[in-house]
Structure 1
Amino acid sequence: MNFIKRAFLSTKAKKGRSFLLLLVFSVILIFVLAGITIQSASNKATEEARKSMGGSVTLAVDREKTLQKPTENTDSSSAEDEGGKRPDPGSYQSTPVDLEAAKKIAALDHVASYNFISTTSAGAESFDPITSTDTTDTTSEESTNQGGPGGSEEGGNPFGKGNAQGDLSVMGILSTETLSGFTDGTNKLVEGEAITEKDKDQNVVLLEQSLAEANSLSVGDKVTISNPTDSTKTYELTIQGIYTTTASDDAMASNFSFLNASNQLYVPYTFANTLKGDTYANAVDSVVYQLDDPENVANFVKAAEKTG
């Protein structure tokens, strides 16, 4: 223990140098601790920011596989596709996502929330959609000149057989509370209630404020819309809420009213499926899964693929 005594005496004898060394070591220690604290806070902030941004995964049908290729070779020797085959232009099939498969994936780890998406169009029966002069003129001209499917003179759908155009764009969802348009601030509910899972199988709708004001409609009123493929089929909906939107109109909105952001209706996915027909009885167009952390996206996708 003699060296400890000598060190103490040396420190006591050289107070100035000892104080200076103590000060230097203290400053170094403070900077080290400050660096560790800043790094820890930075990592925590990064993690919180990453989680707040969230990570989303969309389940939808592979579009490439919806274009069927014929089994026989084409006659064209210039065909560059594999095996001399090419997709049949009339073979496109819209295949919905099965709800049972979607719910099985929703039960996997790291799923914070999920939303069903089913989109279609509809005709406005008891009210007027937001339109422009161009839209009205174009619609009138098409009705007069083009007529029905294939341009017949008997009236009908000017967009060809099997296609439908309504006055309104209809989006069926499980909940507007987790829909990107409402979570990112593009849309904002100003009156009434949001659509949630409890509204499944209910004929309720959210209307955009401009559309509601133009038709003197308010929460609790009823509106009637028609089926996009059969205008004789009509449905009565109760206005559950009114929202505002800052979404930009599509460039073609002046020609087609259903592309106008004010003509966007939000309904429960079950009602949208009713408009779409029996094929969508237990299916939707897509499912969006919001994960608890973007870092878990890769593992979630692998787990989802294993469900088959």
Structure 2
Amino acid sequence: MNFFNRTWRYVTRKLSKSVLLGITFFMIGNLVLIGLGISDAANNAKILTRQSMRAVVNYEVDNQKFWEYTNSLESDEERNEAYKNYPKIDKEIALNISQDERVKAMNYSVASPMYSDGFENVPLGNEEKKAENGGGGAVMMEDGTQFEYKEPNIMIQTNIVPDSIEFVEGTNKIVDGRMYNQDDIDNANKVAVITKELADVNGLSVGDTIKLSSMQANQLPYFENMGITEDMTKLELEIVGIYTTLADVDPNDERFNWMSPYESPKNFILIPGTTIAQFNYAVSKASYDYYVSQGQPDMVGTEPTLENSYNASKVVYLLNDPLEVDAFVEDHKVDLKEYTFLNANNEQFKKLAKPLDTLSFFANVIVWIVALNAVVIISLVTALTLKTREFEIGVLLSLGVSKVKVVMQLFMELLIIAVIGFTLAVGSGSLVAGQVGKMVLNFQQSASEEEITSDNNVYYWAGDQNYFTEITQDELLSNYEVSISIWLILEIYILGIGVVFVSIVIPSAMIMRLNPKQILLA
């Protein structure tokens, strides 16, 4: 009679013991299934939420950390020296990071409000309301004179690569002509890509030229003595492309009545970053030379160069996969200079996901506690049972049955009962896991006293767009749903096999170390 037959006969003959062990495995299976189901649901909710978010990472200056450093300095001289070396985005590092195969597009952009010269901006629709609220105003100059201030109406958007995030994602689309290319960037060509709305309002087309000014005409006399000429404040551009954009201002926004024309995406003009760098350099160099001639070089800091005339406040990377964001940050954070960092908006995500993380932690702890207790309980029951079966084991060994087969018989006896218990647990656990998961999540939410703050109401200047997908905790938790998958069921059975194996090995070792004669005489 092989050990399979002996196994089955023992399980059916000792029916009361088998039923009690089956109930034990059934209870263990239910608890483990609920615990793993809750943990799995919490992890899936975070993954689904991440997948719904835009896969962007910002390369930024860590202003908070830098200010903490400067505040720790003891003297004003040390602080002033630190301010002179204020951290900046490193262009070479930014470009090296952009070569990562996970990067789809990069926005190394600088935005500058300017004045249209000889053409009109696209109206926002808030002009009357803004006039009622008193748009514009008088500005006092150093010499005591005043001039009427007129706000800029065009936003210059630049990049140092041709493909921006907006075009890759489909927010912007070229409908006539082309986007500026790498040759335009390398040679700082004075080319522009304008919106279709701006082209329609002014009857412009590809090949036409437009003029922009960095200041109002009535401002120029106050700067002429510094060597800043009218030509330095004018930028003439050839239109090489016209694009449409899905972006627009929201008329229901509480800030709408006070918005400036340049805040409308319809008034954005795209030009190469090198072009605006040359334009800015001419003015800043003239200002620097003037203050040096006046013996006041500290008024403008270090001598300007063409390279430092284009400084982005942040660089935005669009990745292929939202789930690669954390790995991307981890891989490249070692490349960064001090007081700069890669921001994936993880802090806000972690705050929102805290109830799920807490839930997952306790669920995993419960699974481990149940598994360890199961090993102890089953081992104890097996050890007590083996004490009553010493004669049977001794006879089998004396008949030439190997110790391995004896242990396999004991293992199979428990495994059969465990499979039956866990199978029943899968059926009942699938019915109650979802309800238990919801109850535990609701309790966790109500027990949490931390107030979650969101950046949804933070105003972002039109030139410094926020590319992060803002989510609420309700949106995150709406993805939480406990369900029993085939993989989860496999985990249950694997865990059960492990529990049975450990429960048999420990007590069996006490008997298997003896020979048949010692067992029979014990």
Which secondary structure state, in structure 1, belongs to the residue aligned with residue 110 of structure 2? Answer: strand
Instruction: Look up the match of 2:172.
Output: 187
Provide the C-alpha distance between the structure 1 equivalents of 2:88 and 2:134, rounded to a whole number of angstroms.
31
Identical positions, percent = 24
Which secondary structure state, in structure 1, belongs to the residue aligned with residue 328 of structure 2? Answer: helix
Partner of residue 112 from structure 2, selected from 99, 116, 120 = 120
Partner of residue 154 from structure 1, selected from 127, 131, 146 = 146
Which secondary structure state, in structure 2, belongs to the residue aligned with residue 267 of structure 1? Answer: strand
Is residue 2:370 matched to residue 1:304?
no
Partner of residue 90 from structure 2, selected from 58, 76, 98 = 98
Instruction: Look up the match of 1:287.
Output: 315
Instruction: Look up the match of 1:35.
Output: none
Letter matched to residue 281 of structure 1: S
Cα deviation, 1:101-128, whole Å, max 9, x if unaligned, reads 2123234453344332111111111212
Partner of residue 265 from structure 1, selected from 262, 269, 292 = 269
Question: Is the Cα–Cα contact under 8 Å of residues 114 and 214 in structure 2 kept in the other structure?
Answer: yes
Is residue 2:207 matched to residue 1:220?
yes
Question: Is the Cα–Cα contact under 8 Å of residues 154 and 268 in structure 2 kept in the other structure?
Answer: yes
Higher strand share: 1
Cα deviation, 1:16-58, whole Å, max 9, x if unaligned, reads xxxxxxxxxxxxxxxxxxxxxxxxxxxxxx9xxx6x9873222
Provide the C-alpha distance between the structure 2 equivalents of 1:136 and 1:54, rounded to a whole number of angstroms.
38
CA RMSD of aligned residues (A): 4.0
Provide the C-alpha distance between the structure 2 equivalents of 1:266 and 1:297, rounded to a whole number of angstroms.
28
Instruction: Look up the match of 1:174.
Output: 160
Instruction: Look up the match of 1:88.
Output: none
Which secondary structure state, in structure 2, belongs to the residue aligned with residue 295 of structure 1? Answer: helix
Instruction: Look up the match of 2:240.
Output: 240
Shift of 1:134: 4.8
Q: Which protein has greater RCO, CA pairs closer than 8 Å, 6+ apart?
A: 2
Provide the C-alpha distance between the structure 2 equivalents of 1:63 and 1:262, rounded to a whole number of angstroms.
32
- Structure 1: gaps spanning 5 or more residues: 1-45, 74-90, 159-164
Is residue 2:181 matched to residue 1:196?
yes
Change (3 A) 1:248 1:301: same
Is residue 2:59 matched to residue 1:59?
yes
Which secondary structure state, in structure 1, belongs to the residue aligned with residue 146 of structure 2? Answer: coil
Change (3 A) 1:138 1:183: farther
Name which one, 1 or 2, has greater alpha-carbon Rg. 2
Shift of 1:236: 0.7
Cα deviation, 1:107-152, whole Å, max 9, x if unaligned, reads 445334433211111111121223434556778751xxx23459x6
Segment of structure 1 superposing worse, 198-207 or 52-61? 52-61
Question: Is the Cα–Cα contact under 8 Å of residues 174 and 196 in structure 1 kept in the other structure?
Answer: no
Question: Is the Cα–Cα contact under 8 Å of residues 58 and 289 in structure 1 kept in the other structure?
Answer: yes
Question: Is the Cα–Cα contact under 8 Å of residues 169 and 265 in structure 1 kept in the other structure?
Answer: yes
Shift of 1:215: 1.3
Shift of 1:302: 2.0
Which secondary structure state, in structure 1, belongs to the residue aligned with residue 109 of structure 2? Answer: strand
Instruction: Look up the match of 2:396.
Output: none
Provide the C-alpha distance between the structure 2 equivalents of 1:275 and 1:65, rounded to a whole number of angstroms.
33
Cα deviation, 1:131-184, whole Å, max 9, x if unaligned, reads 434556778751xxx23459x6521658xxxxxx522111102345442x3333
The aligned runs of 1:126-141 (5 Å cut-off) are 126-131=118-123, 132-134=127-129, 141=136
Aligned length: 237
Provide the C-alpha distance between the structure 1 equivalents of 2:246 and 2:100, rounded to a whole number of angstroms.
34
Provide the C-alpha distance between the structure 2 equivalents of 1:195 and 1:253, rounded to a whole number of angstroms.
34
Which secondary structure state, in structure 2, belongs to the residue aligned with residue 155 of structure 1? Answer: strand
Provide the C-alpha distance between the structure 2 equivalents of 1:94 and 1:249, rounded to a whole number of angstroms.
34
The aligned runs of 1:59-98 (5 Å cut-off) are 59-65=59-65, 69=71, 71=73, 96-98=88-90
Segment of structure 1 superposing worse, 218-227 or 248-257? 248-257
Question: Is the Cα–Cα contact under 8 Å of residues 110 and 310 in structure 2 kept in the other structure?
Answer: no
Higher helix share: 2
TM-score (norm 2): 0.39
Change (3 A) 1:113 1:147: closer
Change (3 A) 1:148 1:210: farther
Question: Is the Cα–Cα contact under 8 Å of residues 169 and 259 in structure 1 kept in the other structure?
Answer: yes
Question: Is the Cα–Cα contact under 8 Å of residues 171 and 272 in structure 1 kept in the other structure?
Answer: no
